[in-house]
Copies of this chain bind each other. A is one copy, B any other.
Amino acid sequence: MFTHKNGAIPLYIQIREFLVARISKGEWLPGDIIPSEMQLAQELDVSQGTVRKAITELVEKNVLTRRQGRGTFIANHDIRRALFHFFHISDKAGHKVLPDSKALYCRRKKATQKEISKLQLAPGSKVIRIERIRFLTDKPTILETISLPEHFFNEFGKVNDCSLPNMLYELYEQQFGITIHSANEELRAIAASEHDAALLNLEAGTPLLEIERIALTLEKTPVELRISRCNTKNHHYQNTIF
């Protein structure tokens, strides 16, 4: 089934890709245990160490989670991961505070040119567009505009009527089987519009940190465009470069 000599693609990479394919096909769901290293090794007719090396790389990418003595599991992107991995706003002490959220708007709309290009949509596609405000220690601090391709999130309006959970990525995962694995962010300083200013309780023109995020699945398909405007008077965007 798998061999090394055929084209010089290392065995462990072939196996890693084989696992990725099975995972993104939805064969296992988040939290599920996958077969043991030994079982996979037998099934694929390679040694346990080779399976191990393939799995290790997926663990490093946060696709899988290992628990010694238990097994290997599809990573569960729970609230903790969402907060620490995808939420980069900290207070002055450097602590991340879980924000509260209030949805202001939630409609199915024709995609704008920007949404079409950023989300790689077909012209004329529709998106679900959400606007919400987020509170940090009870103060309105972040405005978010979120765009979701309709074809990925079809029953959104039906299942869910603007009563959104705080952490959307959990919703995507649990309700739609879409797991966010990575994201690209662009940050800029902009001036608050009248609209922004009113909602954030500021003067128009106040500098805001704008974060434009495109969230991607394991296979790099863009599934969410999120534009956040953030009052950075008492908070900041924290990034660590390794």
Give the interface of A toward B (CB within 8 A). Answer: 61-62, 85-86, 90, 181-191, 205-210, 212, 230, 232, 236-242
User: Measured between alpha carbons, how far is A94 from B194 in the docked complex, in Å?
Assistant: 29
Name the CB-closest residue of B to A61.
B242
**A185/B240 in contact, CB under 8 A:** yes
User: Measured between alpha carbons, how far is A242 from B62 in the docked complex, in Å?
Assistant: 8
Name the CB-closest residue of B to A236.
B186
Given A205-B205, A207-B207, A208-B207, do A187 and B241 touch, yes or no (CB 8 Å)? no
User: Measured between alpha carbons, how far is A14 from B242 in the docked complex, in Å?
Assistant: 21
**B241/A86 in contact, CB under 8 A:** yes
Residues of B within 8 A of A86 (CB): 241
Chain A contact residues: helix, strand, loop or mixed: strand
**A207/B189 in contact, CB under 8 A:** yes
Name the CB-closest residue of B to A85.
B241
User: Measured between alpha carbons, how far is A207 from B233 in the docked complex, in Å?
Assistant: 13
**B189/A232 in contact, CB under 8 A:** yes
Kindly list 4 other residue pairs between chains A and B, CB separation below 8 angstroms, not including A183-B241, A189-B230: A185-B239, A188-B232, A189-B190, A190-B232
Some 7 contacts from A to B, beta carbons below 8 A apart, are A183-B240, A184-B240, A185-B238, A186-B236, A188-B237, A189-B209, A189-B230
User: Measured between alpha carbons, how far is A61 from B60 in the docked complex, in Å?
Assistant: 13
Residues of B within 8 A of A207 (CB): 189-191, 207-208
**A186/B237 in contact, CB under 8 A:** yes
Residues of B within 8 A of A240 (CB): 182-185
